[in-house]
Structure 1
Amino acid sequence: MKFTTEEKSWILYDCANSAYSLIIVTAILPVYFKFVAGNADVSASDTTAYWGYVSSFSTLIISILAPFLGTLGDYLGNKERFFRYSLFMGVIMTGALFFVPTNQWQLLLIVYTFSHIGYQAANLFYDAFITDVTENERNNLVSSYGFGIGYIGSALLFVVVMVLINTSTFGLVSSTQTIRLVFMMTTLWWLVFSIPMLRNVKQQYGLVKPRSPLKESYHRMIKTLKEIRNYKQVIGFMIAYFFFIDGVDTIVTMATAFGVDMGVKTSTLLLVLLVLNIVAFPCTLIYGWLAQKYGTKIMLLTAISIYFCICIYALFMKTVLDFWILGLLVGSSQGGIQALSRAYFARIIPKKQANEFFGFYNIFGKFSTVLGPILFSITTQLTGHSQLGIASLALFFLLGGFFMLRLKEAPLVQNSKE
């Protein structure tokens, strides 16, 4: 399949930020944090809970700001500017992880919080750019290729990371120094693969900037909140998305902490995450292809059903083999559900207000991920079992599937409201 320069550049950014998601959010930093906090005599269950609370807090900040940032981003030129600001904030703070002393677990959480806010804010504008780089007929495939390339790209970097960690950088430095070096490598990877996006992707749809953008953005946001009830399919999808993406993001965020609590060795845990990303690459592309053939809605319901089964399976997990099976199940549908959600939403919103609507898309998605880690953390602390924390997330997939069933297939042609 041939892609335009803009589509290729947009797809490559998924390769850039996926490295942060895999290495910082999911794989290395959670384990490193548990090690640092554990040395300060913080219990295993409390370190897992603190990681969940901090993830919820950073997400809450973006959830509050998303609609306003999205509205500002709809003015011509602003989407690119705000994307750059968010990107550089995330990159700089990720690099700052390298300089955090190994006995400062509280400072480590603070720096991570700011890097995560920058990462999530950049993704808000990046997602909205899909309406600028491709047409409705192609966004299932373009979105899926983005996530797919992201998985395989981050997996390549992860292989290098695993070699360095397992050899302590070939015996040149300590394991702790190696992990700090990994933070800097992730920073450079994120920055380098962002360059095509920064150079080639421009805002095609937008509104003329008024004299008072802040004031006008506020009024537009209030007006949209009043009128959004007229976009029944948008509201219906955001409610469904609120629930099912909660479970998805919580599983991604808490996966390594869950594995450590199960007694899975760090080397095995990292290998599972690597295989998960390799499996996710072809599976995400398959989801995109099947969505073109059978419909986006059907494939989203398929992914939701698989995630529900994952939550139930967690109740019966006892061995490392069980953790492998869980990881493969997640890899089969993680990219698909994320890519098709983005593509579905892009097809039901007005393009000139894409950033504003993606702001609401993000607030629904991000507010949901405030609830997920909190539910997981509270359940884990009350019961002392991380498995019950994962199982509790089944509720979100049940509700997401219920509301998704009530929706129509996303149209290929923009409605007259644009």
Structure 2
Amino acid sequence: MAKFTKPEKSWALYDWGSSAYSIIITTAVFPLFYKAAATDAGVGLADSTAYLSYTIAIFTFILAMLGPLLGTIADYEGMKKKFFTVFFVLGTVSTAMLAFVPEGQWLWLLICYVFAALGATGANLFYDAFIVDVTTEKRMNRVSAFGYGLGYIGSTIPFALAILIILLAQNEILPLSVTNASRLAFLITAAWWILFSIPLFRHVKQKHFIKREASPVVQSFRRLSKTIREIRQYRALFLFLIAYFFYIDGVGTIISLSTAYGTDLGLSATSLLIVLFATQVVAAPFAILYGKLADRFTGKKMLYVGICVYIIVCVYAVFIETIMDFWILAMLVATSQGGIQALSRSYFGKLVPKQNANEFFGFYNIFGKFAAITGPLLVGITSQITGNSSLGVLSLVVLFIIGLVVLIFVPEPTPHDPVDEVAAE
């Protein structure tokens, strides 16, 4: 921590807080809670997984449509943090509301999940864009990986607490039902997320911006239209986005559907929670390692490594039969999950014009979110047609291969920082 400035640490601590949402809501407790509610209502396993996939596709489509425009408006002085705050409040409040959905109402759970996910992913759009304000290009790999590393470490604390409460309730040691223990986990998630967002609100400021002008919304549409018309000037940037579109699609789909997939394989909720907890612990040092190796071998080469690991994951998923197989799969994911996300963010951050960072991170968002529509739909449709979730996961291989091939043609970022100074207060 001593190697990082106060803005860098404050920015990274948001990942420490918000990652509780990623593991408890996106990956672990909520999917199990939802699957149980859907099963109690008579919804089949494959169908409930498909409905969750379609829900993910819906909210990602909404944000993908809004991302570039909101990002363009947020490039104006003082607007980035305002937009971040709106989505932050939507995400934290909706996450807390999951605890109050009546038992067995699986459809209402999905509706609340849509708003929670909109808030979380929307806030992340502007959080990611803040990376150009808190550090220099030369330090971006390390700072981005540091954020993901902190996120994995920080998320294990509320996740461990949630697992403990659920297990104690399951064994009737606590006077709670397993359902109410899961509800408490949702409240813990919201509280943890809010608490560790305070440093960002206090110490992170928008340093790169465009001066405000009359009719900002109209002007933002014009700037966005101009960027699209002049896309050839940003060949490297948009070529990277095409590669990112495909490979991050597979990454996000595996993260969001891993628990539902494990449930379909017949793995117990307790086993799944323990595996996912271990995944978070292992992912933390590997995310930081990716950042260090990227400084030595370049971020692009480390992205190749991450994509290849995920291809192996998709193929291996077909052969899963036991909890040990799932452990092996989870540990493979843990080695590359944080690294590929962190280096994608820093690689893109080096490519974008700093004063238009929000606009371009809006495109980063739209490519990522549209990708997140394709993957879940692919898995959902394949699972329903074949009646086999494993084949749905295998279908993601084609996305990773396309992403890898396109990434080969993306040039390395050209340094823009005149000196290697850290943006300190």
CA distance, structure 2, for counterparts of residue 412 and residue 246 of structure 1:
28
Structure 2 distance, partners of 1:136, 1:44, is 46
Please tell me the residue identity of whatever aligns with 2:414. P
Matching residue within 299, 306, 312 for 1:309:
312
After TM superposition, the runs of 4+ consecutive aligned structure 1 residues lying more than 6 A away are: none
- Aligned counterparts of 2:58 and 2:417: Cα–Cα separation in 1: 36
Distance in 2 (alpha carbons) for counterparts of 1:31 and 1:401: 33
Written as runs of structure 1 = structure 2, the 5 A alignment for 1:215-230 is 215-230=218-233
Q: Distance in 2 between matches of 1:44 and 1:310?
A: 22
Q: Counterpart in 2 of 1:95?
A: 96
| Per-residue Cα deviation, 1:272-291 (whole angstroms, up to 9, x for no partner) | 10010100011011100000
**Shift in Å at residue 353 of structure 1?**
0.2
TM-score (structure 1 length as normaliser): 0.98
**What one-letter code is carried by the residue in structure 1 that aligns with 2:337?**
Q
Is the CA contact 1:349–1:414 (under 8 Å) kept in the aligned structure 2?
no
Q: How many residues align?
A: 415
How far apart, in 2, do the equivalents of 1:211 and 1:409 lie?
Answer: 37
Q: Secondary structure at the match of 2:211?
A: coil
In structure 1, what is the Cα distance between the partners aligned to 2:122 and 2:326? 32
Structure 1 residue corresponding to 2:387, chosen from 371, 377, 384: 384
- Kept in 2, the 8 Å contact 1:52–1:377? The answer is yes
Give the match for residue 155 of structure 1.
156
Question: What is the aligned partner in structure 1 of residue 43 from structure 2?
Answer: 42
Distance 2:351 2:340 in 1: 17
Q: 2:337 is matched with which residue?
A: 334
Residues 388-408 of structure 1: CA distance to partner in whole angstroms, max 9, x if unpaired?
Answer: 011000000000000011122
User: Which stretch of structure 1 is more off in the superposition, 66-75 or 170-179?
Assistant: 170-179
- Paired position in structure 2 for 1:409: 412
**Greater CA deviation, 131-140 or 306-315?**
306-315
Find the counterpart in structure 2 of residue 232 from structure 1: 235
CA distance in 2, matches of 1:274, 1:104: 27
Deviates more, 1:101-110 or 1:125-134: 101-110
Point out the more displaced range, 311-320 or 333-342.
311-320
Q: Please give the alpha-carbon distance, in whole angstroms, between the structure 1 residues aligned to 2:44 and 2:278.
A: 29
The one-character-per-residue Cα deviations of 1:84-131 (angstroms, maximum 9, x if unpaired) are 111001111111111110121111111110110011110000000000
CA-to-aligned-CA distance 1:234-256 (integer Å, 9 cap, x gap): 01100000000000000001000
Question: Deviations along 1:137-165, whole A, 9 cap, x unmatched?
Answer: 00000000000000011012111111100
Which of 256, 260, 264 is residue 263 of structure 2 equivalent to?
260
Structure 2 length-normalised TM: 0.96
Partner of 2:55: 54
Secondary structure of the residue aligned to 2:351 is: coil
* C-alpha distance after superposition, 1:291-326 (max 9, x if no partner): 001101000011001101111111222211111000
Distance 2:274 2:384 in 1: 27
**2: distance between equivalents of 1:284 and 1:174?**
36
Deviations 1:9-34 (Å, cap 9, x if unpaired)? 00000111110010001001111001
Counterpart contact for 1:297–1:410, Cα < 8 Å? no
CA distance in 2, matches of 1:94, 1:294: 40
Between stretches 100-109 and 296-305, larger displacement belongs to 100-109
CA–CA separation in structure 1 for the residues paired with 2:11 and 2:415: 21
Q: Which residue of 1 aligns with 2:253?
A: 250
Inter-partner Cα distance in structure 2 for 1:218 and 1:297: 32
1:82-161 aligned at under 5 Å gives the runs 82-161=83-162
Confirm whether residue 32 of structure 1 aligns to residue 40 of structure 2. Answer: no
SS of equivalent residue, structure 2 residue 4? coil
What is the CA–CA distance in structure 1 between the aligned matches of 2:278 and 2:232, rounded to whole Å? 43
- Can you list the C-alpha shifts for 1:36-67, whole angstroms capped at 9, x where unaligned? 11111011111100000001101110000000
Name the SS for the 1:203 alignment partner: coil
- Residue type at the aligned position of 1:28: V
1:203 to 203, 206, 230: 206
The question of 1:191 aligning with 2:202 is answered no
RMSD (Å) for aligned C-alpha atoms: 1.0
CA contact (8 A) 2:20 2:193 kept: yes
Match of 1:319 among 309, 317, 322: 322
How far apart, CA to CA, are the structure 1 residues paired with 2:213 and 2:116?
Answer: 31
Q: Distance in 2 between matches of 1:18 and 1:74?
A: 25
Q: Classify the secondary structure of the residue corresponding to 2:210.
A: coil
SS in 1 for 2:42: coil
* Corresponding residue for residue 270 of structure 1: 273
Q: Matches of 2:95 and 2:161 in 1, distance apart? A: 18
Contact 2:145/2:288 (8 A) holds in 1: yes
Please list every run of 5 or more consecutive structure 1 residues that lacks an aligned counterpart in the other structure.
none
CA distance in 2, matches of 1:245, 1:61: 18
Structure 2's unaligned 5+ residue stretches are: 419-425
Aligned counterparts of 1:127 and 1:363: Cα–Cα separation in 2: 13
